[in-house]
A and B are shown apart, each in its own frame.
Chain A
C-alpha cells in the first residue's frame, strides 16, 4: 500500500550545512551529568518544500526511546508535554530550543561525553512521499 501511496522515498544524508529541502540545522545535544535518564536535542528544522510534512518517528543512536516534547512557561510555571502530532508546514522553520520544543532522548544506553555525537534519524511523511533526515548532533554544554 505504501508503494502505491508514495511515489518517492528519499533518504537524505545531511550535515548541518545542507542543501537538502528538509533539514535539521545547527543540531546539538545538551550534555548531561552521568546517570541522567533524559537528554535533550535541539536545532533548526527547515522545510523548503511545497508540502507540509508530519513527523512519524525519531530514532537516536544510543537511546532506548525518543520523543518530541514541548516545554512552556506560563506565569512562571514550567510544564512539559509530548507532542504526538508534529507537523512542519511548507516553506517554514521550527526552532527546537531550550525552554521550547525539543527532542527528548530517553534512557541512554551508554555514557555520552562532551565531544561525542548522537546520530538522529527523523522520519517524515507528506501526502505523497517520505523523507528521512539523518544528522550527527554534537554533545555540548551550550548552544553552538
Chain B
C-alpha cells in the first residue's frame, strides 16, 4: 500500500497535466526506511517524448546525492502515460531498478479523468497496490 498525502498526489497530477503530451517524471523522497513520501521533486524528462521518459543523468546525480546527504531515499518514482493506461509497460518493468520504490503511474489520456495507480516492481514482477490518499497539509494524517 502507498500512503501519500492528497497534496502530493495533486502535485504529481499537475506535473503530468503540464507536460502532456510528453511523459512527465519525478521522485518523491522520504526518510530512508520510512516508506513515507514527503518531498516532491519534479525531474526533467531528458527524452521529452510522448512515449518515453528518462531522468537527465546529471540531474539524477544531483538529486540522488542530495537524498543521500539528507538520509532520504526515493520512496515514489512517478511518471505519466499520455495515451495509454496507468499500468507499467514492458519498458517500465525492464528499467525498474529501485526495489523498494513505489512506482506511481498517472495516465493523462482522458483529460477529465486522470488515472493514478501505484505498483511495486521487483525482479520484473509487478504488484499493484492501493493508494491511500490521506488528507492534511502536513505529514501523513490517515483518514
A and B: real partners? no
Chain B residues packing against A (C-beta within 8 Å):
none
